[in-house]
Structure formats: C-alpha cells, structure tokens
Chains A and B, each alone.
Chain A
C-alpha cells in the first residue's frame, strides 16, 4: 500500500529525475554556455536534477559574466561558494571550487565546478560580479587555502589569526588545535598600539574614535564583533569580524555518520533547530531517492512553521529589547514557552530537538497532538497583537527604524540575501513558493514583500510571516493527520520496529548495522535547500559511498546576510547599529558554523 497521499506531494517531485545527454542539450544554460564558451567546458552532468558544469579555471570570470548577463540565463545571485578537497577520492587535480548560482527571474540553478591546481590552487575572484563572493571566498581561503586573484581583502575569516594550516583539507586532523594568545584588531594592518579604543586623527585634522563592539556585548546576541571608526556619532568605517563560534560543523560531519549529523544541524540555527533537521534530511533523501510518507511530511510542515514563528519571536523580541522596549520580550517569550511544550511533547527536547530522520521523523506525535497544536496556535495571535499595539505604531520606534539601514533590491540580490531580509528589500523569493516542498504548493498563504528595505520593513515582514505561518498550521491541522507510518518503511535508512528487533534476527541485524555503521548512500553530489526562518538553508553534500559524508557544506543564510554589514553601517549613527543588527537576525551558530 502506498503511504503517499496525492494531496501532499512527496519531496521527490521537488527535484525530479536526472536528465540524459539529449535532454541536457535543451537546457538553456547548457545551450548558452556551449555556444558562448565551447572551449571552457570540461564536462556537464545532471545528477538528481542538479545541473553541474565543470569549466577551466582560466575562463571562470568570462563564464560567470555570461551567466549573469545572458538574457536567457540571468543568474543574478551567487547563492553559495565553497571549496572541495578530492584527495581521498583520488582525483587529479586535487582541489575544486564549487559555485552555486540562482536566477531570481528565471528560477533556475546551476553549479559550476572549477578544478584547481594541487600546488598553487588559484582562481579569479568573483567579487567584481557578486558581492556575496567576498566572504565566501575568504571562507574558502581559510578552510582550503585557495588564492582568489584580485580579492580585495583575502584573509582568514572563521579561524583565528594564529591558526596554522587549512582545516578542511583532508590531510588536516579534525582535532588539531592552535592556541590564540591575544585578541587582534578587526582592522587589518592596524599597529598594535592602536588596538582597542583609540583616538586617531583623520585626514581632515578632526578626531576619529575606534570603538570595539563585541564579541561579548549585550546587543550582539552572542558572538558577533564589529569594530567601528566613529566620526562623532556617525560610523565612518567599520570592520565586521566573525568566527567567534566557529565550531567546525563541516569537519565534524565528515567524522560522523549520516544520522549522527542531525544533532550537529540542530546547533546551526539553534533558535529554529527543527528546520535544519528537515533541510538535512531532505538532502540525504534527495541523494538516496527516499520517498517520505505523508504523515511525516505533515508533521514536518506543521513543526517547521511553529519553528519559524519561534525564530521570529526571538528575533523581534530581542531586537525591541535593544531599542529599550523590554516588555515585548516578555510578551514574546510566553508563547515561545508554549511552543517549546508542544515540541517537547513530540520528541522530549525543547531547543535542540534532533527530531528529524532520513525518511521521516524520529517518532510519532502524541495522540492529542492536533488539540495541543491548535491550542498553541490559538494562543499566539494575542501576543502578536500586544506587540503591534506597543511597538508598531510607536512614534519613537518608527523614528528609529524607518529609513534606517536601507538595502536596495539590487544590493540584496548581489549580497545573496534571502528570507525575510530579502523580502523586506523587495526580493520576492520564498523557497516555499518558488520551489515548493513538503506540501506547500497545496497550501494557501501569502508571502509578505515590502520595498523599503529598511529596519522597519524587516520587522514588519517578520510580524506578517508569523500570521501566515499560523494560517498554514491551521490549514494543515484542519486536514487531519494522514494515516500511515511516521518514517519510511525502508530498511536502508529506517530502524526496524523495536518489537521485531526482539523477536526476529533479520530486524536485529538490521538494527545493529544501522546503529553501528549507519547507512551508505550512493556516490554523488547534491545541493538541497529549504526556506528556513532566515532564508535559504542549503546543504551541499558529497558522498563517496561510505557511511559518512565525504564533504558537507552548509549554505547558511545568516552568513550571506551579515556579509553586507559593513556596507550597511557606513554613515549610520552608532546607536542605530543595534537596531539594524537586531533585524538581520544573525544567529552565530549558522553564521560561523
């Protein structure tokens, strides 16, 4: 009996089958690249619906330019960039640089692979074309030691200044640490005696003051650091320093089995942990072509929307605290506790849930789930209304947020902004709408988009998204819980029933193998993504057919959002820094990974 309900399409529809050589010829990207740069292409593949083009490193800049400006392609967003070390795969050359592009107008994607020389991995920087390349290339330099020619500021970003070696290379041991002796200035090349707070003379003969904000500062919510050069009350220049929570997520995943990766994904965006669980599960499901039962999709979609609400509650609550409105924080933590209770009833954990599994969820929801979820959902609007009354129409709040920290639509796309921050800048892109998964195409909801791009609009988009999430939750609850199992009946990935483990030798052995060795997906590379609370949460997974991921890269929305920080802050009042930072909702766990 099929466990898949037609009204809740499974995730397989989302990616579709791979294309053969003839079908590939018809793809606009392939056609355009073959006609424009026939000599640059080293290979074209399509695996699980991911189009991937390998090109010669010398031609990267020209090919990227074609991708961006060709009228049929219009890849206006560099979604992600990461390095790759093929040492253990035995390929030559050893290194690759991987680029993921997306067109917000044509809604298509392509992956570029650029093989790099073993001895001197070097390639042109894409910073002249996309602003998002700036930090992403610094990360690839930090992790793999790639040299990006013409990069404006190529230095370490996640690890500290006294770090030696490139940790994501395969010959670097996962636990080799290097101690840091002191804190360094975020302004590179600053003399040691200028570090810390220091008054300096500008070229106009007026005084400038260095102010260090963070990484332990009440407004930075964790571990962000901005060093600002102040001209009076205005920020003349600033440097954003990250990496104060770089927990080596990607290296850790390479040393754990596929199921053991779930707890690590919890701790990426720990405010809405379940969304990361689903993003990771869907990545492996895409690689292994596992069809998820309707019941699991139903549970996932409801809990993902609750997590989205929870994320926005914290973001707005703490943002308002920073602007001096403490009451809203208490108002918003109250429903958050209620959502915690619902999640705790499902999986026993409040924050870091580890509830997702490949092929479904870890266990079934409790019997009274629908009533419990409905009561929780019904309790939330009251608090949203309180905060609307307290903050939204408040004159002080409006004056502090309207027209502050403006990011235009073009800049937002160039920086790779997705999620609420992108939609507040007029970028109408929501993965749930553009590339539906988990039954979103059957649901009635609005995607709030505003055009101002300021702090106020980012706040308003989040407030409205909470309402829309509630609409989704109510629609799903009205449909009732689909019959069937909560996890796919597939011995490759799902644990057998505990009953049969005790009574049946095959089930016992299967259980033992899955627990001790995990499962081994086929060889291949996939990129899968969902709309998490902060935007496009993507995983680029490379499998070598063993029980552990060969390489896993997380495309974290916060990382690309925060990269724009210095440009946004220039010319702003220093007091507005905290208001701007709060609406970006930077979560250090996924920023630094």
Chain B
C-alpha cells in the first residue's frame, strides 16, 4: 500500500489512447499526494517524555527512514509534519501556534501521546487540555508515552490519509484561495503537459521508425 503507484495510472510508456483533459484533472492530485506521503519532513515539537521516545523512533533500532519520514528538521519553514511530542502548557501555547503558522502548506500535525491529545492525566491549572485548542490535528497517537511502534503506526495512518487527500490541510487548501491554487495547478499542468508532449513525440517517432 504505502509505496505502490496510485491505481488507475497507465503504465509508463504505454498510453493506448491518452485522454489528456481527464487524466490531468483526476490523476495529477493522486500523483502529487503519492509524492507527499512518501517524503514527510517531520519537525519534532518535543516538550517532554514523548520526545525521548521520538528519539528512539528516529534512531537506529526503529529507524523511521524506512517510512520515508527521516529528514527531521528543526526549522518549521523546512518541514511539513509537526509531531507534538509531550505536554503543551499554557505558557507554551503562543509558541506552538507561532511555529505552526510558520510552516508552509500543505502541513500535517500529529499529537503524540495523551498530553498533546487531551492533556492526559494533567487536569491542571497550567496545562492545555489537548493541542487542538489551538492547532488542527490530523492524527492522535494514544499512549503515555506511545511505544515507538505506536508512533510509526500513526505516521502510516497519516500517509494513507494524505494519499486520499483527507487531511485537514489538504481539505482546507481545496476550499482555500482559488486564485492561488489555480496558479499552482496551472504550473503543474503545464509541466505535465510538456512531459506528455515529449513522451508522445517520442512514441510517434518510434512508431514512424517501426513502420
């Protein structure tokens, strides 16, 4: 599931009857999402115990790179997946929000552990009762802390959601500023069209030679 090509795509080099309009509008997104899900750049927002388990996940034994998500970046501007590992307290709230806002779209958020999901067993005067008070969360990973397997499972679930275009960021982008989206889609469409053109010409050349 995780690394296969999206279904419904003609095998490369064999476009029997290319329907270019339909192909571009329906298949481009699944190509892009397939790329997105296999190249996650996590930004660990580690605050507490869960961050130590996150270290285990990225180090050699559990090796997150097997799932295409090993390029850990500490700058929000270079990452697209925020993993909030640990308790977020009220004093940290504005910091978390600021870092989330600095990340470029599309972006995803995993609440690792019960503290980030719901405040955990800290029903207390200084603890945020779940980070979804201030940032949108795609995946909640239970556990205190979750086992490394648990976090990996969460990341794989997120990858499935990205492939289907179901994450909050993707939905928001679809419903977002049409002009901006149109520009991006336009550029992508032109790029694909150019590729297709080249491929068709090559095929035509091959056909001429064969005949």
Contacts and interface: CB of A to CB of B under 8 A. Distances in A.
A334 B61 contact: yes
A117 to B, nearest CB: 25
B112 interface: no
B87 A247 contact: yes
Interface stretch (A31-39, A92-100, A178-186, A370-378): A178-186
B55 A333 contact: yes
A252 B115 CA distance: 14
A222 B47 contact: yes
A160 B122 contact: no
A244 interface: yes
A182 B101 CA distance: 14
B95 A172 contact: no
Contact of B59 (A216, A270, A329): A329
Contact of A181 (B48, B94, B95): B94
A247 B61 CA distance: 31
Most buried by A among B45, B74, B94, B124: B124
A182 B94 contact: yes
Interface string A165-181: 00100001111111111
B98 interface: yes
A430 B159 CA distance: 50
B119 to A, nearest CB: 10
B153 to A, nearest CB: 16
A176 B125 contact: yes
B130 interface: no
A439 to B, nearest CB: 29
B90 A248 contact: no
A248 B95 contact: no
Contacts of B45: 216
Task: Please classify how large the interface on chain B is, using the bins under 10, 10 to 19, 20 to 34, 35 or more.
Answer: 35 or more
Given A247-B126, A330-B59, A351 B92 contact: no
Contact of B48 (A167, A174, A179, A588): A588
A395 B55 CA distance: 28
Contacts of B96: 216
B154 interface: no
Contact of A245 (B89, B123, B144, B147): B89
Residue among A173, A180, A330 with most chain B CB within 10 A: A180
Contacts of B94: 180-183
Given A159-B126, A270-B52, A183 B95 contact: yes
Contact of B124 (A174, A216, A243, A266): A174
A163 B125 CA distance: 10
Nearest to B148: A350
B89 A352 contact: no
A244 B48 contact: no
B125 A589 contact: no
A534 to B, nearest CB: 15
Contact of B91 (A172, A180, A217, A329): A180
Contacts of B38: none
Interface residues of A, number: 51
Contacts of B93: 179-180
A179 B125 CA distance: 10
A267 interface: yes
B99 interface: yes
Given A179-B90, A245-B48, A351 B53 contact: yes
Nearest to B147: A350
A329 B55 CA distance: 10
A501 interface: no
A125 to B, nearest CB: 25
A223 interface: yes
A251 interface: yes
B15 to A, nearest CB: 46
A589 B144 CA distance: 14
Interface in B52-95: 52-53, 55-56, 59-61, 74, 86-87, 89-95
B127 interface: yes
Given A176-B125, A263-B121, A350-B147, A337 B47 contact: no
Contact of A244 (B47, B99, B124, B144): B47
A116 to B, nearest CB: 22
Contacts of B127: 177, 247-248
- Most chain A CB atoms below 10 A, which of B74, B87, B98: B87
A126 interface: no
B52 A351 contact: yes
A244 B91 contact: yes
A555 B51 CA distance: 23
Nearest to A334: B60
Interface of A: 158-160, 163, 167, 172-183, 215-218, 221-223, 243-248, 251-252, 263-264, 266-267, 270-271, 314, 329-330, 333-334, 336-337, 340, 350-352, 588-589
Given A218-B74, A330-B59, 13 more contacts: A159-B91, A159-B126, A167-B126, A172-B125, A175-B125, A179-B90, A182-B94, A222-B47, A245-B47, A246-B126, A251-B124, A334-B60, A336-B56
